[in-house]
């Protein structure tokens, strides 16, 4: 598969992870050690990403303390709150945040994202996740993680309720007619009356329909349930793929599943994550990559790997390959696809635990590579033209320097090759991704004609 004859501009998202995606990024002199809670740091990153005309930026989240605070910075701000601060210093770039369907309620979350969409003028996106891990479960009064399939069933109903709530106001509901004293038409604001297996929600939402109708829906799971969920609901998919062949297979699989759900495959954009380490020369990039790996604390990283593999740390020998006797994916209830990716990477390349830690230290399973700006651009173009992606989730190893290098050196090359925009042509996140504003399921769009409004307003007077 190739797009060279008729290829559309690719999409680029900046995945902002505190001071960088590499495990040891915080130890470099340039890194702001308190970046995770420094609003000025994030505002600077948002401005850099917008300077590069990137489609969007993304903030991950989890309702649990992730990692050992004694070893690396783990403190982070609640992302939807942070997005409102970033909206105030940017004008075009999309603003995406993770929020869990496992440990939120549809009404409150729908209200938060509708609020961000209003505050930003139509630039909000929601990365929908089904949170795994017993630590998170215990923060919400549960003994352990709900079963994988149950989490996805809850997530499906959650999204259904949220979209109903976003549709509970017609686009034409608010008149604000001071002469008649009519602010909104009562029959254009409706309850949703949802009663399902997991939620009972009456509605309507206490926020009018937002500029995008509702935020861009993003998903990041790659298990079988995750791919079906993406094909049914998602408009963008963030994924981790180690090889071109795996990326092409994933791309084709999700597009086919999307069509099977009766959706246009072009209505879902697939963005694999890449962790580029960029240098003036390839040798410079490799030296920085090696320095970052040298700064990893192996005893800490071994515990993290053991936790992911669901085995005791003492079963891992730093200078041996993974033991044969580890759980299968079917025995794992959380992050199934990432578990399989890590194990297959180790088996395929016969990596020792120490080597695997180094490979995971930069991107936790996403593809990492070191090279010049030209080499990074070549890799992006090759994967894109091969039919492996609609764009890429850029995950700088170190922030802010890695993002600056990508924006100032790689983006111009992509622009020169006609692969990426030189200016924004739209204002909303949906426009950046070439996606339509969703219709309102609760109201007949024909009723929103000027005639309907005129009659309603005359009646009100």
| Rounded-to-integer distance, Cα 50 and Cα 70, Å | 34
Helix (H) or strand (E) holding 403: helix 401-405
98 is in an annotated binding site: yes
Residue 217, strand partner residues? 126
Task: Give the closest residue to 413 by CA, choosing from 17, 8, 52.
Answer: 52
List % helix, strand, coil for the chain (3-state, nearest 5). Answer: 45, 15, 40
251 is in an annotated binding site: no
Instruction: Determine if the peptide bond prior to 313 is cis (ω within 30°).
Output: no
223 is in an annotated binding site: yes
171 is in an annotated binding site: no
CA–centroid distance for 346 within its chain:
25
Q: Which residues in 23-49 are b (16+ Cβ under 10 Å) and which e?
A: bbbbbbeebbeebbeeeebbbbbbebb
Residue 74, strand partner residues? none
180 is in an annotated binding site: no
Helix count and strand count (H, E) for the chain: 16, 13
- Do 177 and 210 form a contact (C-beta atoms < 8 A)? no
100 is in an annotated binding site: no
Q: What is the DSSP letter of 66?
A: -
Which tokens belong to 437? Answer: 């504003």
Q: What is the DSSP letter of 439?
A: P
Q: Which residues are annotated as a binding site for FMN?
A: 61, 98, 148, 152, 222-223
Annotated binding site: 61, 98, 148, 152, 222-223
């Amino acid at each position: 598969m190739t797009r060279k004859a008729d290829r559309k501009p690719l999409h680029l998202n900046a995945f902002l992870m505190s001071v960088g995606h590499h495990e040891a990024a915080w130890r470099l002199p340039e890194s702001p050690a308190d970046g995770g809670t420094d609003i000025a740091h994030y505002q600077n990153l948002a401005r850099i990403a917008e300077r590069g005309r990137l489609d969007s930026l993304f903030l991950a989240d989890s309702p649990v303390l992730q990692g050992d605070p004694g070893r690396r910075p783990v403190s982070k701000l609640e992302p939807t709150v942070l997005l409102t601060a970033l909206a105030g210093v940017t004008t075009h770039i999309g603003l995406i945040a993770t929020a869990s369907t496992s440990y939120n309620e549809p009404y409150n979350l729908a209200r938060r994202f509708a609020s961000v969409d209003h505050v930003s003028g139509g630039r909000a996106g929601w990365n929908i996740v089904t949170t795994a891990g017993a630590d998170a479960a215990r923060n919400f009064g549960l003994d352990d993680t709900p079963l994988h399939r149950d989490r996805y069933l809850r997530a499906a109903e959650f999204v259904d309720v949220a979209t109903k709530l976003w549709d509970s106001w017609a686009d034409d509901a608010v008149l604000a007619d001071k002469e008649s004293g009519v602010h909104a038409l009562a029959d254009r604001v409706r309850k949703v009356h949802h009663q399902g297996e997991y939620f009972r929600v009456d509605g309507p939402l206490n926020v009018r329909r937002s500029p995008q109708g509702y935020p861009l829906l993003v998903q990041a799971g790659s298990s079988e349930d995750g791919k079906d969920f993406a094909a049914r609901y998602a408009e963008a998919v963030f994924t981790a793929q180690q090889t071109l062949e795996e990326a092409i297979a994933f791309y084709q699989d999700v597009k086919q599943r999307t069509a099977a759900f009766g959706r246009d495959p072009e209505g879902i954009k697939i963005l694999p994550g890449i962790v580029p380490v960029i240098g003036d020369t390839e040798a410079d990039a490799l030296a920085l990559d090696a320095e970052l790996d040298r700064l990893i604390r192996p005893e800490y990283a071994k515990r993290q790997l053991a936790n992911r593999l669901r085995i005791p740390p003492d079963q891992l020998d730093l200078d041996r390959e993974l033991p044969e006797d580890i759980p299968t994916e079917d025995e794992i209830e959380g992050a199934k696809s990432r578990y399989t990716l890590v194990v297959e990477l180790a088996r395929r390349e016969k990596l020792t635990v120490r080597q695997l830690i180094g490979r995971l230290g930069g991107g936790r399973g996403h593809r990492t590579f070191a090279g010049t700006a030209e080499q990074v651009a070549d890799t992006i173009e090759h994967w894109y033209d091969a039919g492996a992606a609609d764009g890429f989730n850029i995950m700088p190893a170190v922030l802010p320097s890695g993002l600056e290098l990508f924006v100032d050196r790689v983006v111009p090359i992509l622009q020169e090759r006609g692969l990426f925009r030189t200016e924004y042509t739209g204002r909303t996140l949906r426009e950046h991704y070439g996606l339509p504003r969703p219709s309102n399921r609760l109201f007949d769009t024909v009723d929103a004609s000027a005639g309907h409004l005129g009659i309603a307003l005359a009646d009100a007077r």
